Chain A
Amino acid sequence: MGELNAADRQHFFAYVARAMRFVVVDFARRRNAEKRGGGSEHIAIDENVAGVLVDRGDEILRVHEGLEDLRRVDEDLVRLVEMRYFAGLQVQEIAQALDISERTVERQWQKARAILFASLA
């Protein structure tokens, strides 16, 4: 019984973070639909989660769309945003998961924020 190797760990963390992204985005979309009336369809949403997402729903969806554009040029930045923003991992945790230095994570994070902010402004 061994630990996951570095490549498996990276894939695992990336996979879960991406899954979290789409869970969060789905909540945000549903919440936005409810805010707009949503027709006659009512979707049960965990009120605790929905309540928190209501204020950040637009930001979440915009970031999500920005990541789709960013994916074409830099998959690593997309993965980092998913881990940091959508999955809430700390810099240290990401560095450990991806087997890179914390300074590299911080610098990548700065780049991701810059290019997403520029693209969403």
Chain B
Amino acid sequence: MAEGAGHPVREPRLSEKPQFDPDRWKAISHLLDVALELPDAERRAWLDRFDPRDAASRDVIEELLEAYSRAEAAGFLASPVTLDGVPLPGAFAAFRQGIEIGPLSARPGDRPRRHGNRVACRAGRRAVRAPRGGEVPEHRADRAHRPGAVQARGAHSGVSSTRTSPSCWTRA
């Protein structure tokens, strides 16, 4: 924003590396929320209605809005880190599946539910398998009892998707 004659003395404008204290940022963040909810065409008028005594906040908000526009134009953070267009594999692939199927856990004595054959609940790469109609062996249960890190995978060919069961274990 141009520094016009007659404007009050302002605090330094947003530097290349903005430094805020938490309280200051909280106030700026709240105002930025308001600005971001406005259509582009209305933001200028909204900024112009700022109390001249708080011109410093107005300048910071205006620069952050401009920064956002430049970030958009530059594609900054436009896409997450990917591997050939697919989110990073490995642990996070399991994490993403965990979101879709919900948290799971298994304890000694639990029986696989719904899937007639067997179900494996995996913690990382380690599978905990329960045989048909069987129970989770105690020495293996702790592997699976890791809520969130555990994902269910139907070991039977008839179980087509891990998303079919929000909870694959049932208490014996």
Q: Using a CB–CB distance below 8 Å, which chain A residues touch chain B?
A: 1, 3-4, 8-9, 12-13, 16, 19-20, 23-24, 48-49, 52-53, 56, 59-60, 63, 69, 72-74, 81, 84-89, 93, 96-97, 107, 110-119, 121
Contacts and interface: CB of A to CB of B under 8 A. Distances in A.
Interface of B: 14, 16-18, 20-22, 24-25, 29, 32-33, 36-37, 63-65, 67-68, 70-72, 74, 76-77, 80-84, 87-89, 91-92, 95-96, 99, 102-103, 105, 107, 110, 147-148, 167, 169-171
6 contacts: A4-B148, A20-B92, A73-B24, A112-B77, A114-B67, A118-B18
Nearest to A16: B95
Contacts, number: 130
Contacts of A118: 14, 16, 18, 63-64, 67
B36 A24 contact: no
A13 B148 CA distance: 9
B99 A119 contact: no
A62 to B, nearest CB: 10
Contacts of A88: 80-82, 87-88, 92, 96
Contact of A85 (B24, B65, B71, B81): B81
Contacts of B14: 118
A86 B80 contact: yes
Contacts of B89: 49
Contact of A107 (B20, B33, B92): B33
A59 B80 CA distance: 11
Contacts of B148: 4, 8-9, 12, 16
B76 A113 contact: yes
Contact of B37 (A9, A63, A74, A107): A107
